[in-house]
Chains A and B, each alone.
Chain A
Amino acid sequence: MRVATDIGGTFTDLVYVDEHGDIGVAKSPTTPPNFEQGVMDVIEVSGIEKEAIHTFIHGSTVIINALTERKGIKTGLITTKGFRDVLEIARGNRPDLFNVRYHKPEPFVPRYLRLEVEERLNYQGEIIRPLDREQVKSIVSYFQQEEVKAVAIAYLHAYVNPVHEQLTVALIKELWPEVHVTASHEVTKEWREYERTNTTVLNSYVKPTAASYINKLQGKLKENGVDSYNYIMQSNGGTTTFAQAKETPINMVESGPVAGVYGAAVLGELIGETNLIAFDIGGTTAKCSLIDKGGVKVSTDYYIERSERSAGYPIKVPVVDIVEIGNGGGSIAWIDDAGSLKVGPESAGALPGPVAYGLGGTKPTTTDANLVAGRLAARNFGYNVDLEKVKQAIHETVASHFDMSVEEAALGMIRIADSNMLNALKLVSVRKGYDPRDFTLVAFGGGGPMHAPILAKELGVKKVVVPTASSVFSAWGMLMTDLRRDYIQTYIKRLGQLDITEINQAWAALEQEAWQQYEADGLNREAVIYTRFADMRYVGQEHTVKVQVPNGEWQAETFAEIVERFHQLHEKTYTFRLEQTETEIVSLHVTAFGKVQKPTLKKLEKTDILVSEAIIESRPVYFEGKGWVTTDVYDRHKLSPGASFEGPAIVEERSSSTVMHPGQSLTVDEYGNLIILTGVN
């Protein structure tokens, strides 16, 4: 049996699949600070036999929380002489252009814990000045005296040649075995010293947190008789072993959200759709990501705490490309200084939550608007909803301001929220040169199914899929993952000057490194699948385009093929190509999947329940341009595969609700997914 658990802010989700391909889900409250207890609780709730768990996959927000709450460990940094302040100078940028009181993000290591050693390589990786080992030794004693608990090492040009970093690590481990150490080349082999240094520092900063978390979880599992292969979900859309996760925990930073995107890709494969947009609406944010021909997009262009007001902190590890905006069910509506309606980014969160929860919230949210417009049913909230109070909040903040009815105001709030989310969806699709008509939207999270059908229509997407496990979809995605490691090496070479033997060696070296790690994990050669990408650009450009390139030995004619692929991608993304300009590789990127055995998902059997029997009620729902329309509301659990009907209609399930607009139609597929045709031709 494969079991996936995903720890969220409020709930710990579990999804399992047994040997027959049957799927089960469970939810249980998250239990900070002893998160492992929540994991055991949810296993208990699910009723599965602990001994039957063969593979255990886990996603958690523990790393991102440790970073954003500054709950990591006291960390010291060692740099090349002359460069200890790189971490503080950073890139010098100020996104908040007109704010002369801009606050620069404070470095995670204060200046007195940033020390320098004599050592230097040039950009070709040649040693200009050897490492001064004595200085390393005295730094170690200084750090010990200052009670540093983790050390980061980042030397210039270590991405080409890590020799001095390796020597330093060895020396520190010898002198001070108990300290947590990270050298920059262990987490990223890309150039740009600030980004690499910061990534290294953050990895060190959370290493003890990760180690204690994983150890506790592992201990608890063992204690309870779970004897399984254990994996952690990483930001690149794949999993890794517990042991590896303790070494480079920074790879877990987006553990949860990316699993949903990966899940969308797997679901697509199952139902024969390879071009997908994954769309997830939670309480505070909406997230989307585009999947092109089955491939989840991964880049190292990732930041935490970055916004229009702050430069944030770069983390140069592979992360699935996700666009996230501050618009979710709990987003608060407000009127700005000049009288315009805005929704979000401020959120009422889970506490006090929307007015409808009756937990003290007084500011109207998107969820409240959906309730007033009839899209959500009061009985489904799990709270005693005071509808008059909700209407009153919308009246006071929005309707009275514009001198309109409460339902018009509620619809206005929904439209503004939709507009914000539409911009995010455009960002991953049309603005990257993709035609939405070629894509299917997979909607999940509490609010995804409610907003997706109309947004898909606006965007020009023909089809929306609401998966069976839409409210625990991240955990469902984890269940379907393989092991994944990404190897990215900065490798600056013009295509015209590329030596076939050298490039073949470079690829082979990366794949060999991958194989060795998988071999250590106990995998067979056949189970390891490589995909190669080259990050390419026109000579003179900075930003690159990720081009998938052939596996195996390259021949002379391979080059022409790669260049043509690059021209095409560049034109698609940026509208033009420069045939005469030379092209250049910047990085080699090997993605190595360790394929694991997964049961085949079972198709559902048709039931005798008629579609009409699934109708719970007919209630008025407020639609744009139509006003109040009497709308049938269906119970999802009573819908049998093959069932179909036309919109307007609402499909309710626990913790989410799918809203179909007039002119849209729905079919339940053989896995229980809702397939909605949006009305786009």
Chain B
Amino acid sequence: MRVNKVDPFSLEIVKDSLIAIGDEMFYTLGRTSMSPIIYEVLDYACGLTDAQGQLLTQGHGVAGFIGNLSFMVRDTVKKFAEGKNLSPGDIIIINDPYSGGGSHLSDVGLVMPIYYEGEIVAFSANKAHWTEVGGKDPGSFTNDSTDIFQEGLQFPCVKLFDKGVVNQALVDIIQANVRFPDLSLGDMWAQVAALRTGERRFQELCEKHGKDVVTASIENLLDHGEQLARKELVSLQNGVYEAVDYIDSDGMGNGPFRIQVKVTITDDQFICDFRGSHPQVLGPVNCSYTTLVSDVRTIYLAITNPSHDINDGVFRPLEIIADPGTIFSAERPAPVSVYWESGSAGGDLVWKALAPILPKRLTAGHFLSVCAVTLSGKHHVTDEPFLIVEPSVGGWGAGEGQDGVRGQFCIGDGETYNMPVEIAEARYGVMVDEYSLRCDGAGAGEFIGGSGVVRSYRAMTDQQAVTVTFGRNKFLPWGFNGGDSGSPNEFYVEKANGEIDGPFGIYARYPLNKGDVVKLVTGTGGGYGHPFNRPAEQVAQDAKNGYVTVEQAEQKYGVLVDSVTYELRGETSERAQFRQ
């Protein structure tokens, strides 16, 4: 084996350098992007793969992209005759949802072969959410499309750069087909800059250490990842674990849809079998198989070791099975633009199935949905068109020894930042009336579910439209080990005339006029353990902080709290009896 010829420290140093390259690419893209969805939400990922498309390192802002890059590269390798039809300086563009690491059309991938001494030694790749790729609605992703053609431009793995020369015809087509071409093309340039950074740094690494050492380090990196994962796997209790849940609706009035998983854990395998889940549906809540892979990988990492350096070696023990053409493995031309609803639900099923055996690693269910909001209209001062595209924070589930986290982005997001109110009010035709915790007392437990939030946008001009995609509106974040379930994601519209409409979960283009308020309310997470086991002093403090009311303290927790001073007054007989 060649690995043995290289000293172990050089391997380690090259490995660290590879990881640093992934981080640097990520940084470059984020700092140069034009779109809030990229620089605030960090809805993108950058990485390097080996010549076969195995992921070596990934800099990422959201969990949902874990897995997409290698599929993209493999598709590129396949389409261009095992790489023979590629040249130095080529850059491939790809957003096909059904293959090539696709999620939805808005996530546009770029792939660049890296050459050294005349052959491909690696690929530099990234994928970023463009604010606009055309399609029937502003912001492109929508919740009432019925086929892929309504969702925007498709880039079927074609050359954007040929030997370093940009394909101007393609750029012109993009320019003509998207609503905010400056944003989309600006992001495209940012992606190109990041790819080139990756290329340059990788070549420098080969210069410095020699190709053989770099190749050996790559093998070592992947094996290292696999060993770490296997070590964790052995510590898990072997067995077969099952879970069933439902996806609310497809946005077209259909649903709910039954989904299921059977997880089999052996000493060297982790198999997630989703067969038997609902077939693909009319509305865009379907996801492709690669999305399912990303979401399952996320929870697999949470279970095996959340602080892994990510590479394809880590995922070698993982197998994911789905029937073709299901809500988890949609086929052309099924709509997929809000794919995360089913993808996250797939990951959540595995989470739910394994929580009972892993109370120290996993928590109760959380608000789960990306809770996407698209709001468009004209600015009240500048009269310029604006477009808000943003995910929402919500409540996380409680776990053994830990209350649920309040106001945090869902698992599919990650290093994602909410939009500051002061920036939103300057840039968009809205005012924010409220951004606060939703302290509804849901998710009661020994450890209490984290609060969702309330965010209210007041329209400052007429003829605005808001599209809201809030899953987990009917089927709540699940409680765990005696804890209560959480509360739904939902929104209301409070009209200027005082009328209140709602609650809704998924709604396309709700019209807003000046003075109307859309009140976005995300769910509180599930609780853990019986509420009577929560220490009474703690409950009194919760009441003082307003996380629960004095009434809830008594009814749910059996704790009597003074309604003025919030001092502890005693406990109910039910609680006393339970605790005996």
Contact = CB atoms under 8 A, between A and B. Distances in A.
Interface string B1-42: 000000111011101110010001001101111111001101
Nearest to B417: A91
B570 to A, nearest CB: 21
Contacts of A101: 361-363, 399, 402
Given A83-B421, A99-B302, A581 B182 contact: yes
A146 to B, nearest CB: 10
Interface string A487-524: 00000100000000000000000000000000000000
B147 to A, nearest CB: 31
A540 B415 contact: no
Interface residues of B, number: 89
A426 interface: yes
B415 A95 contact: yes
Interface stretch (A230-238, A261-269, A572-580): A572-580
B435 A86 contact: yes
Interface stretch (B46-54, B337-345, B540-548): B540-548
A98 B39 contact: no
B193 A575 contact: yes
Interface string A322-343: 0000000000000011111110
Interface in B269-302: 298-299, 301-302
Interface string B109-139: 0000000000000000000000000000000
B415 A416 contact: no
Given A104-B408, A423-B20, A156 B416 contact: no
The prevalent SS among residues of A at the interface is: loop
Contacts of B308: 98
Contact of B63 (A97, A415, A575): A97
A360 B208 CA distance: 40
Interface string B161-199: 000000000000000000000110010010011001100
A579 to B, nearest CB: 12
A387 B42 CA distance: 50
A83 B418 CA distance: 14
A578 B436 CA distance: 39
B325 interface: no
A419 B416 CA distance: 30
B186 A538 contact: yes
Interface string A376-393: 000000000000000000
B69 interface: no
A542 B42 CA distance: 12
A355 to B, nearest CB: 20
B13 A340 contact: no
B264 to A, nearest CB: 21
Contact of A192 (B193, B227, B298, B420): B420
A416 B437 contact: no
A241 interface: no
Contact of A83 (B193, B306, B362, B435): B435
A412 interface: yes
B422 A123 contact: yes
Contacts of A191: 420, 422-423, 426
A100 interface: yes
Contacts of A423: 16-17, 20
B14 to A, nearest CB: 9
A76 B77 CA distance: 59
Contacts of B11: 340
Contact of B9 (A194, A308, A416): A416
Nearest to B182: A540
Given A338-B224, A538-B34, A575 B197 contact: yes
A85 B423 contact: no
Given A91-B418, A97-B63, A101-B363, A82 B433 contact: yes
Contacts of B437: 85, 88-89, 111
Contacts of B35: 540
Interface residues of A, number: 66
B13 A419 contact: yes
A603 interface: no
A89 B406 contact: yes
A431 interface: yes
Contact of A340 (B12, B307, B393, B405): B12
Interface string B313-333: 000000000000000000000
A426 B415 contact: no
A193 interface: yes
A426 B363 CA distance: 39
9 contacts: A88-B407, A92-B393, A94-B416, A101-B363, A110-B545, A111-B547, A193-B420, A416-B12, A419-B16
Interface of B: 7-9, 11-13, 15-17, 20, 24, 27-28, 30-36, 39-40, 42, 60, 62-63, 182-183, 186, 189, 192-193, 196-197, 223-225, 227-228, 231, 298-299, 301-302, 306-308, 351, 361-363, 366, 381, 393, 396, 399, 402, 405-409, 411, 413-418, 420-423, 425-426, 431-437, 453, 456, 544-547, 566
Interface of A: 82-86, 88-104, 110-112, 122-124, 156-157, 159, 191-195, 308-309, 336-342, 402, 412, 415-416, 419-420, 423, 426, 431, 492, 538, 540-543, 573-576, 578, 581
Given A96-B306, A431-B24, A575-B196, 17 more contacts: A85-B435, A85-B453, A89-B436, A89-B453, A93-B42, A94-B409, A95-B415, A96-B307, A98-B63, A98-B301, A99-B306, A100-B366, A104-B408, A122-B425, A124-B381, A159-B422, A338-B224
